[in-house]
């Protein structure tokens, strides 16, 4: 089980790794299917334009109602979740 930020501020700076750990549902699916069987990986992007705007304005999730948070828009993934299950036949450890 993994959660990763889908949105975030990337600050320019001297650090060469700036923005390196910015994820999309596609990048996480690609990363996890290199180690886990594709049918054992479930990736979901959660968020919408309202949730993204609230996040960037510093609002907490409890300041929005459940119905506002339930809408999903793939263009505004606030949080991305991954569930990867090890294949029972896989002898190698992860």
Q: What is the pLDDT of residues 40-68, one digit of tens each?
A: 999 999 999 999 999 999 999 999 999 99
pLDDT of 19 > 80? The answer is: no
CA distance 49 to 71: 9
Whole-angstrom Cα Rg for the chain: 16
Beta strands in the chain (DSSP E): 2-5, 41-46, 79-84
User: Which pTM was predicted?
Assistant: 0.80
Instruction: Answer with the residue of higher pLDDT: 11 or 28.
Output: 28
Higher pLDDT, 73 or 88: 73
């Amino acid at each position: 089980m993994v959660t990763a930020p889908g949105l975030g501020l990337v600050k320019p700076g001297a650090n060469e790794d700036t923005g390196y750990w910015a994820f999309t549902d596609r990048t996480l699916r690609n990363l996890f299917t290199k180690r886990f069987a594709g049918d054992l990986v479930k990736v979901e992007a959660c968020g919408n334009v309202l949730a993204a705007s609230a996040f960037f304005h510093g609002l907490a999730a409890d300041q929005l109602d459940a119905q506002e948070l339930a809408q999903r828009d793939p263009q505004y993934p606030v949080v991305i979740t991954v569930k990867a299950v090890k294949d029972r036949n896989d002898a190698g450890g992860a």
